[in-house]
Chains A and B, each alone.
Chain A
Amino acid sequence: MIKSELVQVVADQNPHLYQRDVEHIINAILDTITEALANGDRVELRGFGAFSVKNRPARVGRNPRTGTSVSVTEKYVPFFKTGKEMRERLNAGA
């Protein structure tokens, strides 16, 4: 499923809303999560999962092709941990 399909499904469930409104709603959700992570904050959505930012310190890496050392600068990476209920529901049929 891609974003436009998600917009369509939620718009179908809410016939009183324009598709454009639903698109704004989904963008507002995703933008809020993005901004929070860019601020270094955590986003916790019970029953779904939690987004956080992890720090990857600067390190000396190697070019795997030539073997020469290169310095890799400090980085921040987004991280998602699946919520408990979500994890259980993914395996409920097993």
Chain B
Amino acid sequence: MVGGSTLIPDVEGALGMAGKTITRADLCEAVYRKVGLSRTESADLVEMVLAEIRERMIRGESVKLSSFGSFLVRSKGERIGRNPKTGEEVPISPRRVMVFKPSNVLKQRINGALAEDAQFDEDVERA
């Protein structure tokens, strides 16, 4: 975004969330701290794990990670789309898409934590 972007609240911000972004570097740091390999090796391993999931998806396989969720590949047939600017109809070619189906454990972890936060905020406002 160019200039003055600080004036535009990001979408997550508008929802009242923290809005921090976690990257590969943070995952490497977590592996480094929890497993005790060198930083370089931790980074290599994070990459290998992601690469393996990616290769499986490309081969059309699904990857199920218990208590986290499943990555699935879906094949979409051809359909007619519309250029939203011009209203012109354009065919959308058949394609493969990757979808993530979160596990119940993950959904509950997220709701547990954030729902409590929201409740707390409400209580604070009321008090």
Contacts and interface: CB of A to CB of B under 8 A. Distances in A.
Contact of B31 (A6, A29, A34): A29
Interface residues of A, number: 55
A6 to B, nearest CB: 6
A38 B45 contact: no
A49 B99 CA distance: 10
Nearest to A13: B48
Contact of A90 (B18, B42, B97): B97
B20 A42 contact: yes
Contact of B115 (A36, A74, A87): A74
Contact of B106 (A37, A39, A48, A91): A37
B114 A10 contact: no
A38 B117 CA distance: 10
Contacts of A6: 49, 52-53, 63, 65
B68 A30 contact: yes
Interface stretch (B1-9, B22-30, B79-87): B22-30
Q: Which 7 pairs of residues, A with B, have the shortest CB-CB distance?
A: A80-B100, A40-B17, A38-B113, A32-B30, A36-B22, A78-B102, A41-B20
19 contacts: A2-B66, A21-B35, A22-B45, A28-B30, A33-B22, A33-B27, A36-B20, A36-B22, A36-B26, A39-B18, A39-B20, A40-B12, A40-B19, A47-B54, A74-B118, A78-B100, A90-B73, A90-B95, A94-B94
